[in-house]
Structure 1
Amino acid sequence: FKSVMEKAGIKGIILDYPDLVRDANKKWVKYDWDSVKDGVAADVTKLIKSKNWDLIATHSPAGETGHIHHKNTDQAVTNACRSTGNYDKLWYFGKCYWTIPAGLKRITDEELTFKQSLVDLYKNETKPINTYWAQMIPYENWVKATDYVAGK
C-alpha cells in the first residue's frame, strides 16, 4: 500500500486493524471487527477532522467485491464524513463488474500503463487481483458519494 501511494505521488491512510486471525483450530479466518468497530469509527473521525481534505476516497457501501471489511470501512468513513461536514468531499471506488458492460469508459493507454505499474507493486495480492478485479484495471469509475445509487 505504502509503495503504491508513494509511486502515485499521493498520501493514503490505512489503519492497523486485523484482517485475518487464527481461530481455535489455528485456521486463518476473516476478523469480524465487532469488537473494534467503535475504535475504527473514532480513529476515522479523528483523521477526517485532522485537516481540511481536498478529497476523501473509500470503499463503496457495496464493498466493490462484497468484502466485509470494505463495507465496514465505508460505513465508518461515510458516517465520519457526514458528522464532520465533509460528505461533499467523499468519493467511492466504483462498482466492480464481473462482466464489463458496454459503454463503460476505458482509461487512456497512458493511464492504464501507469495504473498497471501500481497494480504490479501488489505482488502478494496477485491471486485476489486475478480472481476478483483484474477485469476492472482498464477502467476507473469512482462515484461521488452524493451521486451514489446502490446497485448501479
Structure 2
Amino acid sequence: MAATISYDDVEVGTELPPKTFPIQRSNLVQYAGASGDFNVIHWNERVAVSVGLPNVIAHGMFTMAEASRILTEWVGDPGAVVDYGVRFTKPVPVPDDDRGATLEVTAKISEKLDDRRVSVDLTARAGDDKVLGRAKAIVQLA
C-alpha cells in the first residue's frame, strides 16, 4: 500500500492528529505471547513492586509500537515509516483495573527532507510522565 499523504501538502510544524491508546493487562499478555518476552515485571504485580516499580509495566517495545501507530494511521502505510527510534524515559504502569493505562501520543513534522521524506518528532505520555524521549521517525510520503 502506498503512502496517502502528499509531501507537497505538509509543512514543518504540521501536527498529526493526536492519538490515545488504552493499555490493559490483557494487551501485555498478548504482546508477551507474540514477542516471547515473558519477563515477570510485565505480569506479576508482587514481583514488579518488589523490584521498585510502581506496578506491572508495559513492555518498552510495546509502548514504542503503540506510539508509532500515530505515524502509520496518518500516512496509511506502515512501510512508509523508514526509520524510527526512541529512548525509554519512564515505564508505563498498567494497573489491574477496568481502566488500565492510557498512552497519549502527539507528533509534529520537524523537517522536510529530500526524496519526499519528512522527519517527525513524537511525544508519548502516560499520565503526567513523558515515557519516550528523543522519539523521532522518518516517513516517506507520496
Higher RCO (CA < 8 A, seq sep 6+)? 2
* TM-score, with length taken from structure 1: 0.23
* TM-score, with length taken from structure 2: 0.24
Query: Which of the pair is proportionally richer in helix?
Result: 1
